[in-house]
Amino acid sequence: MMLSRTASSLYWLGRYIERADFYARLIEATVRLDVMSSRPAGEVAWSSALAVTDTEADFAAFGGELTQTDVVRFLALDTRHGGSVIRCLDRARTNAKAVRTALSREAWTAINRAWLVFENRRQIGETQATLSLVEAVKNETRGFEGAVHQMLRNQAHWFIRLGQAVERADNTARLLDVKYHILLPAGETVGGVVDRDQWTTILQTVSAVTAYRWLYSDGLVPANVIDLLIASRDLPRSLMASADTTVELLGLLAERTGSHGEADRMARMRATRLGKTRSGEVIASGLHQYLQAFIRENGQLHEAIGRQFRFG
């Protein structure tokens, strides 16, 4: 028996931590796209980061140039909108505080430390400083992940992971969608150097470069990357793996509460469908449309979870 409010806080805690981690990875990826590619991607890279996080309107409202310094400050440190790392960590911490007794001391400490990384940080600095900030966030979220892994396998653990899984599905879909927003510079061809750099960066963002090499021997092929990130059961951040995890966690919770509901059904249907997905079909019918539909469906699943567990 768990209070709905407690479950809701744990779930959101999982979501916000995951989201903070994603934003950090996205910043890292964009820095790479912009700086480390053979030809800098420039403004287009930074505008794609905003597009993926749905923060273009906020960015326009709060000013700034489409430069690394301004966009990173906006995505990492700006407290005026919900789409920044600092706000995600702050919300994660507020939720954690409200359910502190349901967390292990290590899990709480990790969240608190992640938050402290930002407490007095107002300036973003140069590329190295940006990357080390990103690294610090990733370290703390990884620490949290580890602490959650050590927690008793109970409902508290499952709700945190459920939040993470739902958020992760959303994030990976958005990341893949970067490729839709980011156009190739004039003169570059699909399959050319820049195109491949872009795909590599996406793989790096989800820590999947090595996995890709293990699974595919024929070099970097976009269809393979899409396959891996959508349909692979073995890559933890793929849509398929997130969908499987969601089904599994909802099943564990259903066992405890003694009833299945709308969220269980939706999650199972989604996992079954993803299991049959082939990248060829996705590309043929439009990757962007596919991902947009997935993000919408994931949102509906989120709503159903809220109803099923009476988050209110």
Partner 1 sequence: MGKRPAFDEIMGMSGEAPPRPALAALGRWLDQTPDDELRRRQEAAETTFRQLGITFAVYGDSDTRERIIPFDIVPRVFLADEWARLSEGLVQRVEAINAFLDDIYGERRILAEGVLPPDLILGNPQFRPEIAGMRPPHGIWAHICGIDLVRTGPDEFFVLEDNARTPSGVSYMLENREAMVRLCPELFREYRVEPVDSYPDRLLATMKSVAPPGVRGGSAGPVCVVLTPGHYNSAYYEHSFLADSMGIELVEAADLVVDDDYVWMRTIAGRVRVDVIYRRVDDDYLDPLVFRADSMLGVPGLIAAYAAGNVAIINAPGNGIADDKAIYSYMPEIVRFYSGGEAKLPNVETWRCREPQALRYVLDHLDELVVKLVDGSGGYGMLVGPTASRAEIDAFRAALIAEPHRYIAQPTLALSTVPTLADSGLSPRHVDFRPFVLTGSNGVQVVPGGLTRVALKQGSLVVNSSQGGGTKDSFVLMAEPAGQSQTQTMGGMTQRQGGGA
Least distance in angstroms from the C-beta of 14 to partner 1: 15
Sole binder of partner 1 in the list 98, 116, 151, 221 (CB under 8 A): 98
Name 178's Cβ contacts closer than 8 Å, sequence gap at least 6.
Answer: 29, 48, 49, 51, 52, 198, 202
Which range binds partner 1 by CB under 8 A, 75-83, 99-107, 135-143, 231-239? 99-107
Sketch the per residue contact string, 291 through 310, with partner 1: x for CB under 8 A, - otherwise: ------------------xx
- CB of 283 closer than 8 Å to CB of 223: yes
Which range binds partner 1 by CB under 8 A, 2-10, 15-23, 76-84, 175-183? 2-10
Sketch the per residue contact string, 113 through 152, with partner 1: x for CB under 8 A, - otherwise: ----------------------------------------
Sole binder of partner 1 in the list 150, 259, 272, 285 (CB under 8 A): 259
CA angle 136, 180, 135 (to 5 degrees): 5
105 binds partner 1 (CB under 8 A): yes
- CB of 72 closer than 8 Å to CB of 32: no
Least distance in angstroms from the C-beta of 71 to partner 1: 35
Question: Which residue, 143 or 236, has its beta carbon nearer to partner 1?
Answer: 143
267 binds partner 1 (CB under 8 A): no
Least distance in angstroms from the C-beta of 107 to partner 1: 12
3 binds partner 1 (CB under 8 A): yes
Sole binder of partner 1 in the list 44, 58, 77, 97 (CB under 8 A): 97
- 77: its two tokens: 């440190």
- CA-nearest of 82, 110, 104, 103 to 16 is 82
- CB of 292 closer than 8 Å to CB of 177: yes
Least distance in angstroms from the C-beta of 98 to partner 1: 6
Pick out residues in 146-165 that bind partner 1 (CB under 8 A).
Answer: 155
How many chain residues touch partner 1 (CB under 8 A)? 20
CA angle 51, 57, 62 (to 5 degrees): 120
Torsion over CA: 300, 302, 306, 309 (sign)? positive
Q: Which residues of 75-103 are buried (b: 16+ CB within 10 A; e: fewer)?
A: bbbbeebebbbbbbbbbbbebbebbeebb
- CA-nearest of 53, 116, 64 to 89 is 116
Least distance in angstroms from the C-beta of 221 to partner 1: 44
Give the integer Cα–Cα distance in Å for 220 and 303. Answer: 37
Least distance in angstroms from the C-beta of 253 to partner 1: 7
Question: Which residue, 156 or 208, has its beta carbon nearer to partner 1?
Answer: 156
Pick out residues in 4-63 that bind partner 1 (CB under 8 A).
Answer: 4-5, 7
Q: How far is CA 265 from the centre of its chain?
A: 23
Question: Which residue, 2 or 41, has its beta carbon nearer to partner 1?
Answer: 2
- CA-nearest of 150, 139, 138, 144 to 164 is 144
The footprint of partner 1 (CB under 8 A) covers 1-5, 7, 97-98, 100-101, 105, 155, 253, 256-259, 309-310, 312
